[in-house]
Chain A
Amino acid sequence: MSLRVEVVTPDRPVYRADAKMVIARGVVGELGILPHHVPLVTELRIAPLRVIKEEGNDELAVHGGFLEVDGERLIVLAETAEQPNEIDVARAQEAYERAQETLRSPEADEAARAEAQRALQRAEVRLRVAGAQHHSA
C-alpha cells in the first residue's frame, strides 16, 4: 500500500510518484504523511517537499500552496514547484544575495522587508533542493 503523490501547478503537472511517506512543512508544523492518513487539507510553507519511495527519495522545491490527502492520494497544489533539475541555481543564488542585501539595507521599508524575506526563503529552498541533487549525483 502506497501513497499516490502528485504535484500540480497552474502551468503543468510537475511530479507524480508512488511513495511510502511524504514529509512536508505545513503552516501549523512539520508533517510526515503515511498511507491511510486521515483526510487532511493544509496550507504549506515555502519549503522542500520530501517524497520517500520504495527505492530512493525525491525532493522538490514547493513555494507555498496546499497539500490535500485522502488516505490513498496526496496532492500538492502550488503556484510554483520545481524538481531539482529544473532549478536555475545561478538565478537562485543571485536572488538569495539580492534579498540579503535588501534585508541589510536600512532604507528598506516594512513591505520591502517582507518581500525580501519571502524571496530569501524561496531562494534557500531552491538552493537546498538543487544542492541535494548535486550530492547524490
Chain B
Amino acid sequence: MANNTREMRLRIRSVQNTQQITRAMQMVASAKLHRSQERATASRPYTDEMTAVISTITQRTQGLSDPLLTPREVERVGYLLITSDQGLAGAYNANLSTAFLNDVRARDLQDPVVFVVGKKGVEFLRHRGMEPVSTVVDLPDYPSFHDVSEIAEQAVQLFLDHAYDALYLVYSKFVNTLVQRPTIQPLLPLTDLPQQQGGHGPKAEILYEPSAEEVLAALLPRYARTLIFNAVLEAKASEQAARMVAMKNATDNAQELIEQLQLQYNKARQAAITTQIVEISGGAEALRAMQQ
C-alpha cells in the first residue's frame, strides 16, 4: 500500500510539471499572438495604398492588359503552402495539409508545383513523395517582408514563365482566437482586383510616369508579393492562436488528471490509515483478551 501511494504522489508531481510547461507555453503563445496581430496591422497601410493606386489605374484607364491579370487555360497549377516550423499547435498543420491534399485531388492534378513555408509542410510533402520547388523554413516569429520576398518573387516569376497557369495560396485564415480556417485562395492570375469606390483625392486626370501600363506592370508583381507576405503574417497569428488554444486544453486536461489522481491518492491514503487503525485496535483487543 505504501508503495502504491508513493507512486501516485510521483505521478501527480509529474503531471503538475507538465502542466507548468503547457501553461507557460500558453502564455507565451498568447503574447506572441498579440505581437503577430500588431505586425499584421502595421503592414496594412502599405497594402491599402497599393490597392488604392491599382484600382484607380484599372478604373480610369481603359483596355489595360497585363500577363498577371490575364487568365489562361489551366494546365498546371502551383501552390504556396504556408505551415509552421513547430508543432504543439493542435491540428493547425494537419488541417492545412488536408485542405491542400483535398484541393489537389479535387482538381485531379498529377504533379503540382509546390512552394512551402514551414518545416511541417516540407516534412508532410516529402512523406507524400512530393518535392517542393522552393522552401522557406525557420522563419522568425515576426517575419519581415525580406524573409519571404525571395520565395514570393519566385512564385510570381514562375507564373510569368508559364511553369503553371494558376497559383493558389494555402494558409490558415485568422478568424478569431478560437477559429482559424484553412483556406485555399486563388492568387494568380489576379482576377479579382479590389475595386475601391471613388478612391481618394481630386478627380483630375492623373499623370503616370513612364505610363499607366508600365506603372501597372511594375505594381502588380509587388502587389502579388504583398498578398503573399500578408498571408504569411496572418498564418503566423493563426499558428500562435492555435498553439495557445492547444496549450490551454492541455493545461485544463492536466488539471483534470491531477484532480482525479489526487482523489485516488487520498482514498488510498485513507484506506491505508484505516487498515492500520484496524490492525492496531485489533492487536490491542487481542492483548487485552490475553491479559484477562
Interface residues of A (CB under 8 A from B): 6, 8-13, 26-28, 38-43, 65-66, 68, 70-73, 75, 77, 79-80
The answer to whether A39 and B207 touch (CB under 8 A), given A73-B201, A80-B146, is: yes
Say yes or no for B49: interface residue by CB 8 A criterion.
Answer: yes
- Closest chain B residue, CB of each to CB of A67: B209
Interface size on B, residues (CB 8 A): 32
Q: Within the assembled complex, what's the spacing in Å between the Cα atoms of A79 and B57? A: 20
| Across-interface contacts of A75 in B (CB, < 8 A) | 49
CB distance from A81 to the nearest CB of B (A): 10
- Are B219 and A66 interface neighbours, CB within 8 A? yes
- Closest chain A residue, CB of each to CB of B146: A80
A11 interface neighbour in B42, B200, B219, Cβ under 8 Å: B42
Q: Within the assembled complex, what's the spacing in Å between the Cα atoms of A70 and B49? A: 13
A26 interface neighbour in B149, B202, B209, Cβ under 8 Å: B209
- Are A77 and B42 interface neighbours, CB within 8 A? no
Main secondary structure on chain B at its contact with chain A? helix
The answer to whether A42 and B209 touch (CB under 8 A), given A12-B43, A68-B53, A75-B49, is: yes
Say yes or no for B124: interface residue by CB 8 A criterion.
Answer: no
Interface residues of B (CB under 8 A from A): 39, 42-43, 45-47, 49-50, 53, 57, 144-146, 149, 200-202, 204-210, 214-215, 218-219, 222, 225-226, 229
18 contacts between A and B (CB under 8 A): A10-B46, A10-B226, A11-B42, A12-B43, A13-B46, A38-B205, A38-B207, A40-B206, A40-B209, A41-B206, A41-B209, A65-B222, A66-B53, A68-B53, A71-B202, A72-B201, A73-B200, A79-B149
Q: Within the assembled complex, what's the spacing in Å between the Cα atoms of A131 and B235? A: 39
Q: Within the assembled complex, what's the spacing in Å between the Cα atoms of A5 and B226? A: 22
- Closest chain B residue, CB of each to CB of A72: B201
A28 interface neighbour in B144, B209, B219, Cβ under 8 Å: B209
Most interface-central of B42, B49, B208, B229 (chain A CB within 10 A) = B49
- Closest chain B residue, CB of each to CB of A73: B201
Q: A13-B42, A71-B201 are in contact. List 7 more A-B contacts (CB 8 A).
A: A10-B47, A11-B42, A13-B45, A38-B205, A39-B205, A41-B215, A66-B215
Q: Within the assembled complex, what's the spacing in Å between the Cα atoms of A6 and B49? A: 11
The answer to whether A11 and B145 touch (CB under 8 A), given A68-B49, A71-B201, A75-B49, is: yes
B43 interface neighbour in A11, A38, A66, A80, Cβ under 8 Å: A11
Q: Within the assembled complex, what's the spacing in Å between the Cα atoms of A6 and B47? A: 14
Most interface-central of B46, B47, B145, B214 (chain A CB within 10 A) = B46
- Are B209 and A70 interface neighbours, CB within 8 A? no
Q: Within the assembled complex, what's the spacing in Å between the Cα atoms of A26 and B211? A: 12
